[in-house]
Amino acid sequence: MQKSNFDEISLRDFFDIDGCDIMQRAKKFSEHLNHVKEIKHHYYKRVSTTGSSPIMTVCDRYSGLKKEMIYLASNDYLNLTRHPRTIAAGVKALEKYGTGAGSVPLLGGTFDIHIELEKKIAKFKSCDNAILYTSGYNANCGSLLALLGEKDIAILDKLVHASIIDGCKNTNVKFFKHNNLKSLEQILERSKKQYRTKIIIVDGVYSMDGDISPLDKIVELAKIYGAYVMVDEAHATGVIGKNGKGSLEHFGLEGKVDIVSGTFSKGMGCVGGFVAANEELIELLYFYSRSYMFSTAPTPQVVGSLIESLNVIESEPELLRNLWQNINYFKENLLRLGFNIGNSETAIFPIIIGDDYKTQEACKLLHERGIYVNLVLYPAVQMRASRLRLSLMSTHTKEHLDKVLEALEEIGKKLDLV
Ligand SMILES: Cc1ncc(COP(=O)(O)O)c(C=O)c1O
């Protein structure tokens, strides 16, 4: 494994290059990317010709050939992207309502199925009502920009998703150490009287670590200090809680969290996002959230599939059971092999390596063995926290997982990861 100075460079070096305008900056970045491609370390935007499922056909960038790979790089935890019922419901809505909503939701773009989904997702999250967005990013960013201003404070876990951070750009922000209640309490104590609205915002399950937020304790602290709580359920929905309803069900906090946001793109297998809360707050968002007001409503096909996704989660508990069987089996074996998987507790498994070059090399070796995992470098994680990110589906079989474990064992030894 030959490393050059080029290999020490990361995306961080191209945010702002002294004296370079946008085109010069793009040229420099392109030179870097060409080097990454030359050493076969470019594993982003791999192209699939079949879609999300445990085995996926992928066009190999380097050989130009199509190959079948075991796919552990999705957030499609219950594989609802391929469920016959979600597909049929999408087709039915497509045929009835057409390919698009035709307008923004406040004007002509609200159909009866949008209202049905709003009510259904609100109930699923034990809230009064919900607002739909075209992505989870828009849901977090658009709602927070509408709610928080310069007299308020957002107190964020250090590892919350970028969409939350971006949504807080008009307000005061303080970060507490990841999942650390002491650190949170110190900030709450210091912020006691200074702000109009105090809101603690966390992810229910963290996207790059797979660990669970201690939401029960956070809600207790919020009560003591007069703060609101918002939780992003992106990776919790369809994964944790007895019936896959997410963090509130997992901790028995139904009705006790002020704002619940999430995406429809992961455990629910489609695209889009939502914010659920009390009736008044949702009404406020309808009129003040710009990514809702000024953006066309979700397509009927997506909405039809999503209503059915919720029905499937409720009526086919074996999907969740299979997912957890896979999680327990995979975790036990990764630990047995000696990988550093941090505090992973859900369907997301980081293999934390730290060195960018080695992480890229590991991704390449897995790719060559027909195993598709995510390469995660800065800025998706902090510098020197680079990792492979493997995520499981309920439809992976033991045979798939054994093949992955076998390859990991070999590569782990080769690269000194274990
Ligand atoms: C925690 C979290 N929140 C929000 C999002 C954004 O969701 P979407 O992909 O629907 O925009 C993601 C991932 O994409 C995420 O991981």
Average pLDDT, the chain: 96
Of 147, 109, 95, nearest in space to 277 by CA: 147
SS3 (DSSP) at 386: strand
CA triple 219-276-282, angle to 5 deg = 115
So what's the pLDDT on residue 105?
Answer: 98
Binning pLDDT at 50, 70 and 90, where does residue 379 land? confident
- Residue 2 gets the label, from left (phi > 0), alpha (psi -120 to 50) or beta, of beta
Predicted confidence (pLDDT) per residue in 190-202, tens digit: 998 899 999 999 9
So what's the pLDDT on residue 10?
Answer: 78
Predicted confidence (pLDDT) per residue in 127-163, tens digit: 999 999 999 999 999 999 999 999 999 999 999 999 9
Q: Which amino acid is at 106?
A: L
Strand pairing category for 386-391 and 371-376:
antiparallel
Single pTM value for the model: 0.95
Kindly report the backbone phi and psi dihedral angles of residue 168, in degrees, each rounded to the nearest multiple of 5, phi listed first. Answer: -100, 20
Binning pLDDT at 50, 70 and 90, where does residue 362 land? very high
Q: Which amino acid is at 16?
A: D
For ligand 1, the distance from its centroid to the CA atom of residue 64, given in whole angstroms, is 31
Ligand 1: atom nearest CA of 163 is: 4
Q: How much is the average pLDDT of 105-109?
A: 97
Predicted confidence (pLDDT) per residue in 193-232, tens digit: 899 999 999 999 999 999 999 999 999 999 999 999 999 9
In the predicted structure, residue 2 carries a pLDDT above the cut 80: no
Say which residue, 417 or 4, is predicted with more confidence: 417
Spans of all domains in the chain: 26-45+317-414, 82-315
| Strand order across the beta sheet in which 348-354 lies | 47-48, 55-59, 66-72, 371-376, 386-391, 348-354
With 0-12 / 13-18 / 19 or more C-beta atoms within 10 angstroms meaning exposed / middle / buried, residue 107 is exposed
So what's the pLDDT on residue 193?
Answer: 86
**What stretch of H or E contains 217?**
helix 215-225
Q: Which residue CA neighbors atom 4 of ligand 1 most closely?
A: 136
CA–CA separation, 307 and 162 (whole Å): 27
* Residues classed as catalytic: 207, 235, 266
For ligand 1, the distance from its centroid to the CA atom of residue 234, given in whole angstroms, is 6
> Is ligand 1 within 6 A of the CB of residue 247?
no
Q: What percent of the chain has pLDDT over 90?
A: 90
Q: Which residue CA neighbors atom 9 of ligand 1 most closely?
A: 136
For ligand 1, the distance from its centroid to the CA atom of residue 225, given in whole angstroms, is 29
Rg of the chain over CA atoms, in angstroms? Answer: 22
For ligand 1, the distance from its centroid to the CA atom of residue 238, given in whole angstroms, is 14
Predicted confidence (pLDDT) per residue in 260-286, tens digit: 999 999 999 999 999 999 999 999 999
So what's the pLDDT on residue 5?
Answer: 63
Topology adopted by domain 26-45+317-414: Aspartate Aminotransferase, domain 1 (3.90.1150)
So what's the pLDDT on residue 293?
Answer: 97
So what's the pLDDT on residue 39?
Answer: 87
CA–CA separation, 116 and 34 (whole Å): 48
Q: Which CATH class is domain 82-315?
A: alpha beta
So what's the pLDDT on residue 13?
Answer: 87
Tokens of 52: 């999300």
In the predicted structure, residue 169 carries a pLDDT above the cut 90: yes
Q: How much is the average pLDDT of 184-189?
A: 98
In the predicted structure, residue 368 carries a pLDDT above the cut 70: yes
In the predicted structure, residue 4 carries a pLDDT above the cut 70: no
In the predicted structure, residue 7 carries a pLDDT above the cut 80: no
25 contacts 19 by C-beta, under 8 angstroms: no
> Is ligand 1 within 6 A of the CB of residue 263?
yes
Query: Residue-wise over 123-141: b if at least 16 C-beta within 10 A, else e?
Result: ebbbbebbbbbbbbbbbbb
SS3 (DSSP) at 42: coil
> Is ligand 1 within 6 A of the CB of residue 234?
yes
In the predicted structure, residue 1 carries a pLDDT above the cut 60: no
Predicted confidence (pLDDT) per residue in 37-93, tens digit: 988 888 899 999 999 999 999 998 888 899 999 999 999 999 999 999 999 999 999
Q: Which residue CA neighbors atom 10 of ligand 1 most closely?
A: 136
> Is it true that 26-45+317-414 and 82-315 share their CATH fold?
no
- Residue 192 has a CB neighbour count (10 Å cut-off) of 11
